[in-house]
Amino acid sequence: MTALKVAVVSAGLSKPSSTRLLADRLAESTVRRLGLEGREVEVAVVELRDLAVDIANNFVTGFPAAALRGAIGTVTGADAVIAVTPIFTASYSGLFKSFFDLIDHDALTGKPVLIAATGGTPRHSLALEHAVRPLFSYLRAVVLPTAVYAATDDWGTAGDALTDGLPGRIDRAAGELAALLAGRAPAAEAAVPEQVVPFAEQLAALRV
């Protein structure tokens, strides 16, 4: 059975980064859940910090550098995406938005996306719902119900799958993604799209 491909997009700017840490935790939990289903997973991480100059140059020149082109291919060719951004001024980071602006509007159609974010205080958690979720809904992705927000204080809290602590939220979101992927064919085995019958032909058939 072909391995499922999960692309992890992290828009953290610092090194080490709490955004990357959250992305890694979500990926690890997803891999573990899918392992219980007997599914193999290939995880590829796209670190936007390393692509910042290429992303800016692409907007000026209209042409992606090789590394950026590869990162876009990793995301569009994956079976699912885990997208994590820091929250700046009550919204996603400019780097995060700029990267997804470079992806074709149809490339994420029907693709499961787990959204998550980090911030200094819990007050910014709603940015996931009023900014990040609408972004991927516009791109016609399948955005998972549970979005994971990690404030600075969340990293010191305990929790499990039955609580609202950060570990519990990570496990719940990863479980939703794993359940969706367990019943989804890998990208390499995707079905051929259904042929669309032109509207004029449909009308002609009705007149017969």
Q: pLDDT of 173-184, one tens digit each?
A: 999 999 999 885
Average pLDDT over residues 132-155: 94
Single pTM value for the model: 0.84
Exposure class string for 107-130: b at 16+ Cβ within 10 A, else e = bbeebbbbbbbbbeeeebbebbee
110 vs 107: CA distance, rounded Å:
9
* Residue 158's pLDDT band (cuts 50, 70, 90): low
Predicted confidence at residue 122, as pLDDT, reads 87
d(CA 195, CA 193): 6
Beta strands in 102-143 (DSSP E): 112-119, 142-143
